[in-house]
Structures are given as C-alpha cells and as structure tokens.
Amino acid sequence: MTKSERLFEEASRLMPWGTQTNAKRPDASFAGVMPLLIERALGCRIQDVEGRWYLDYRSALGPIILGYQHPTVAAAVRRQMEKGVLFSMASPVELDVAASLVELVPGLEQVRFMKTGNDANNACVRLARAFTGRDHLVTCGYHGHGDWFSCGHGEVPGLFPRAGNGVPRLLDSLVTRLSYGDLTATEQVFARRGDEIAAVIMVPYDWGEPVAHDFVRRMRELTQRHGALLIFDEVLTGFRLARGGAEEFFGVRPDLRTFAKALANGYPLSAYGGRRDVMEKLYDVILTTTHAGETLSLAAAGATLQVLRDEPVIEHLWQMGERLRDGFDAAARERGLKARVFGLPPAVQFRFGEGDEAGDEARHVFFRELYRQGIFAAVPFLLNYAHQPADIDETLEAMRAALDVVAGEMPALAR
C-alpha cells in the first residue's frame, strides 16, 4: 500500500467517510490517479502526502479565491494572532469586516457573521419566518445539510436521500423545491401558496445550468408581490460573479443574502445580511454562536475583501476562464471530438457528446488522464487569482494529451 492508502484506511477506521466533507470523499473509479490526502498548498497548487504536486482547479471546494497562502491574507492573520483569537467581548475586527462588506455589496445594510454556509442559510430562513410571520419556504438549489434543505416536495430531489435521513416527515409540507430556471413551476407555486410563503432561498446562479436572468428577475417580482422575502444563497457565487455579488451581476436586489466560501480565502467564516428592517428582527430572534467572532477568520476576511477592492480579481477569473474555455474548445475541434465547455468563465465545466452515459464516460476518461498528468480536475473548474496564463497553458497542454486518449478510447464521439 502507498502512504496515501495506509493513511486513508486508518482515517476510514476512525471517521465515517475518512473525511469531513462529502465532496472530498475519494472517487474509487479514479483509484491510483486521484490523490487521497493533501499535505500542503501554495498559490494554485496542492501537494499530496506522497509529495506530488497538482495544479488545482477545485480551490478547496470554492473558498480559495485569491490562491492558497495569499501573502496579504497570511500577514493579516499573523498580526491578529499576536492579539488573540477569541475574546470575552466583541472585537474591533468585527466592525472592520462588517463595514467592508456593507461598502462592497450594494444592498447590504446590516450584516452578522457565522462559521459555515449552512449556518448562514439556516439563520436567514429562521429570520425570514420571524419577520413575515409565515411558515412556508421555497428552495432552489443546494443550501447545506440543514433540515429545511433536506425535506419538502418538488420536481428536484434534494442532494441527500429523503428516506431515513433523520428529518421529520412533518416538515415536508412546509417546503417546496424548485429547479433553477423553471419559471412555470415558480408561477404555479406562487399562484397556489403565495400568501403562505415566508421566503424563497435560491442560488442566483447554478454553475451547471444556463444563466437565467429572467428567472432571477421574476423571482424578485413574485416575492415582492406576495410579501415574501428573497434570499440569495451566495455561498459559492459570492465574489466570483462580481465584486458586489449576484445582485450586481443580475441587477436584482434580494432582501437577504449569504456569503461563505470565498469570503475569507479559506478561513472558516460566513455572513448573512440585508435590509435593515429585516435584520433588526434579530433583537427578537436569538441566532448566536460563540465562534462567530473568532478573529483570525475575520482578519482573513478583511484582507480578502481589501484585495477584492484593490486588485482586478474578478476580471482575472473571467479572463483565465475564457483562456481555458477557448483552448479546450479549439483542441476538441482539432481532434474532431463532440466536446465543449459550458458555464460562466470563473467556473467552467466540460461536456462530451450529448451529456448522456457515453458523454459521462468520456469525461471520466478525460479527468482520469488529467489526474495522471498532475491536473486536479473538478466539477466545476473553480479558478482563483493565483492561476496565471502559464498555468492555463500548462493545463491546456495536459488537456490536449487527455483528449487524444479520449479520441482513441471512444471513437464514437468523433463529429
């Protein structure tokens, strides 16, 4: 057994999954080529316990927006560490980061901090129900593992299996699930239950779907008409679409929004906030946690937001994504393969054939070959500020070799 295999075997004995996060569970179909455990990271590269480096496109599932160990963020954390990590009262760093967020995000009037995206989304749901005096919730997208996001009725099943998941069946009647972009189902649920709906919590953009500007705008119109709140779950989209979030990108202002992942460039922090009148309901609704004011993550967030303000981070993500997209599409055309990039440039995905079983198999072969060449493939490819043109070119060179293997193993995908 390799060192990785021995460590993962021991981890699986001590911890279910052998890891803490569902998306970090090793894929057995990539055994021998996909790293099992990561020892360290720097910039846009990660190193496994065997000492092998990979050009990383998972970005720690999205939190790494500036690159691993970004010097501005690291320096801010070291300075704060000399002062302390957690105090018996609030810290000025809480005010500093709150002020930065309110300045950066157009409709954000007040904000509170939590630790995870799931925390922030649950807080918004509770707050919306208290503010409106209503119980029904409409969800659109993945919002975490909370009870309200693991139950309900709708066309799209939750990420987790409903049967036996520990969520009371009584909650199903209080939640409706919608597919991103499904205007028909949206109109129907508001026609049927509009005056019962406390809030719609939605991902403003699902990276795997076409961008639905009309859908987002219509959701705003319907929630306003029926007195429901609109909550943007920006746990993943936050600071990848635009500096001011999805509301800047779409031109649609929600009542509440949540941020996490990229907020602190890898440090554990989330935030939720919005309209002052809604947020002031928190004087009546107690939503609190000891470590929300943990200062190292807040210092990291303050530094991350400063870089986002001062440097062309968003523009760089789009440019590098376009370079990757154009290079892949050209390579696929040269080889006569039915393959293309889809999704917005900061988080591209790859489709082979018609997206059917054969196409999925081709993408599996493509990813397998990328892992072998030291490219950590992901769905989607999440770029960060550390990815430079040379890194994209290195990736494209590996992709051309991987596409040669796909063409050889699956000739049916030829145009």
- Contact residues for 92 (Cβ-Cβ < 8 A; gap 6+): none
pTM for this one? 0.96
**pLDDT bracket for residue 158 (50, 70, 90):** low
Q: Are residues 296 and 336 in the same domain?
A: no
Considering its fold, how many domains does the chain have in total?
2
Q: Are residues 33 and 99 in the same domain?
A: no
Q: Are residues 136 and 260 in the same domain?
A: yes
Q: Are residues 228 and 336 in the same domain?
A: no
Residue owning tokens 């109109």: 187
What are the structure tokens assigned to 248, written together? 């800047």
In angstroms, the CA 294 to CA 301 distance is: 11
Q: Provide the domain limits for residue 258.
A: 71-310
Instruction: Give me the CATH number covering residue 323.
Output: 3.90.1150.10
Which of 285, 310, 335 represents a domain boundary (last residue)?
310
Residue owning tokens 């190292």: 296
In angstroms, the CA 58 to CA 90 distance is: 34
Residue owning tokens 């990039």: 341
What is the pLDDT at residue 414? 77
Going from the C-alpha of 284 to that of each of 98, 273, 287, 290, the distances in angstroms are 21, 16, 9, 18
Q: Are residues 33 and 84 in the same domain?
A: no
What is the pLDDT at residue 160? 73
Could you write out the DSSP letters of every residue in 151-172?
--EESSPPSS-STTSS--GGGG
Q: Are residues 119 and 254 in the same domain?
A: yes
Stretch 182-204: mean pLDDT, rounded? 97
pLDDT, tens only, 132-151: 999 999 999 999 999 999 99
Q: What amino acid positions are annotated as catalytic residues?
A: 142, 233, 261
Which of 310, 334, 362 represents a domain boundary (last residue)?
310
- Contact residues for 6 (Cβ-Cβ < 8 A; gap 6+): none
pLDDT, tens only, 348-400: 999 999 878 889 999 999 999 999 999 999 999 999 999 999 999 999 999 99
In angstroms, the CA 289 to CA 192 distance is: 37
CB 315 within 8 A of CB 239: no
**pLDDT bracket for residue 162 (50, 70, 90):** confident
Stretch 213-236: mean pLDDT, rounded? 97
**pLDDT bracket for residue 76 (50, 70, 90):** very high
Q: Are residues 108 and 248 in the same domain?
A: yes
Stretch 211-229: mean pLDDT, rounded? 96
Give residue 375's Cα distance to chain centre. 20
What is the pLDDT at residue 200? 98
Per-chain mean pLDDT for the chain: 95
**pLDDT bracket for residue 1 (50, 70, 90):** confident
Residue owning tokens 């018996």: 88
Q: Are residues 232 and 250 in the same domain?
A: yes
Phi, psi of 389 (to 5 degrees): -50, -40
What is the pLDDT at residue 209? 77
In angstroms, the CA 63 to CA 24 distance is: 14
Which of 268, 287, 310 represents a domain boundary (last residue)?
310
Q: Are residues 270 and 159 in the same domain?
A: yes
Phi, psi of 396 (to 5 degrees): -65, -35
pLDDT, tens only, 2-52: 999 999 999 999 999 999 998 999 999 999 999 999 999 999 999 999 999
Q: Are residues 322 and 175 in the same domain?
A: no
Instruction: Give me the CATH number covering residue 147.
Output: 3.40.640.10
Q: Are residues 53 and 119 in the same domain?
A: no
Q: Are strands 197-202 and 136-140 parallel, antiparallel or unpaired?
A: parallel
* Single-letter code of the amino acid located at 9: E
Stretch 241-258: mean pLDDT, rounded? 96
What are the structure tokens assigned to 402, written together? 């991987």
Stretch 252-276: mean pLDDT, rounded? 98
Q: Say if residue 252's pLDDT is above 90.
A: yes
Q: Are residues 305 and 353 in the same domain?
A: no
Stretch 120-141: mean pLDDT, rounded? 98
Give residue 266's Cα distance to chain centre. 12
